[in-house]
């Protein structure tokens, strides 16, 4: 089992930064795009970065399995024996990359005993890097300046709810919000970057009523836990990691303040 320490975290951060430099080069010209079996796009950048990060992690921790969105055809029977593994999304926000919004990221996380414990989210064009380790806080490096991210308890002092979302299912989400709250939507890029906005206190939550993979939420789990937030599904239960045949997450909400009565704010089943 990898010892969680700042040296390991810095090594992972460096890999993410190097991957980001490669992504910048791909971003400067048009890339080949294919459509995967789940009808989502994949580019040559996704595949190159996946291979690059995989090789770097193998050098760093030769005995730790690696699960990448672009290399995830591993049966549950084999995965169940994993005490720990790396989970990577080489290009979180592929559609954002294709659409040239700048709002995409490289995501690398470590899972131990089925719980994410360490991770990095790096947005190369935005020059933002979130990094976190269980029990050791969450940090944002922006334009070479590093600052700790703090909790945002009591953020909802009024009945205004700031929700980060993608382009789809907005009306469905809004219909789930208790009518006593005034919802304001911020449309933003990749899942991990929306988690970053929550950790920074720029929004109260992120609601996702669409398919995502475990690699989309793993690092966000640690990041938000370290600032007093959490992620739950539409039954207000936590997400699971490496415990199901599929990697597809249930629909979920990420929140900045886990102490709030979210079952009152979101009324999914009413």
The angle subtended at Cα 239 by Cα 238 and Cα 241, nearest 5°, is 135
Q: Are 67 and 84 in contact (CB under 8 A)?
A: no
Instruction: Find the farthest-apart pair of alpha carbons in the chain and give their distance in angstroms, rounded.
Output: 53
- The phi, psi pair for 184, rounded to 5°, reads -120, 125
* Residue 102 in marked binding region: no
* Residue 91 in marked binding region: yes
Q: Are 155 and 197 in contact (CB under 8 A)?
A: no
User: How many Cα neighbours within 13 Å face the side chain of 248?
Assistant: 7
Q: Are 139 and 149 in contact (CB under 8 A)?
A: yes
Q: Where are the alpha helices (DSSP H) in the chain?
A: 6-27, 44-60, 76-79, 94-99, 170-176, 191-199, 214-225, 262-265
* Residue 94 in marked binding region: yes
* Residue 89 in marked binding region: yes
Is 121 in a helix, a strand, or coil? strand
d(CA 147, CA 20): 20
* Residue 216 in marked binding region: yes
d(CA 103, CA 105): 7
d(CA 2, CA 108): 15
Residue positions in the annotated binding site? 69, 89, 91-94, 216
Residue positions in the annotated binding site for Mg(2+)? 69, 89, 91-92, 216
Residue positions in the annotated binding site for substrate? 69, 91-94, 216
């Amino acid at each position: 089992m990898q010892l969680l320490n700042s040296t390991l975290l810095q090594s992972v951060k460096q890999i993410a930064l190097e991957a980001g430099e490669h992504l910048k080069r791909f971003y400067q010209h048009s890339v080949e795009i294919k459509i995967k079996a789940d009808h989502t796009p994949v580019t040559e950048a996704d595949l190159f970065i996946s291979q690059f990060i995989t090789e770097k992690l193998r050098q760093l921790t030769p005995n730790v399995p690696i699960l990448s969105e672009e290399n995830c055809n591993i049966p549950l029977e084999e995965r169940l024996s994993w005490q720990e593994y790396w989970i990577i999304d080489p290009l979180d926000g592929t559609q954002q990359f294709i659409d040239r919004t700048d709002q995409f990221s490289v995501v690398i996380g470590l899972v131990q005993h089925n719980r994410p414990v360490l991770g990095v989210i790096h947005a190369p064009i935005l020059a933002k890097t979130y990094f976190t380790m269980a029990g050791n806080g969450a940090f944002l490096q922006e334009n070479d300046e590093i600052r700790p991210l703090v909790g945002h308890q009591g953020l909802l002092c009024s009945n205004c709810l700031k929700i980060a979302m993608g382009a789809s299912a907005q009306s469905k989400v809004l219909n789930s919000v208790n009518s006593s709250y005034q919802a304001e939507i911020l449309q933003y890029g990749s899942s991990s970057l929306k988690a970053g906005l929550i950790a920074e206190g720029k929004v109260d939550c992120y609601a996702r009523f669409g398919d995502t993979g475990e690699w989309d939420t793993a690092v966000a789990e640690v990041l938000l836990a370290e600032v007093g937030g959490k992620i739950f599904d539409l039954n207000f239960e936590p997400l699971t990691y490496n415990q199901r045949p599929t990697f597809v997450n249930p629909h979920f909400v990420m929140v900045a303040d886990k102490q709030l009565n979210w079952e009152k704010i979101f009324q999914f089943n009413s």
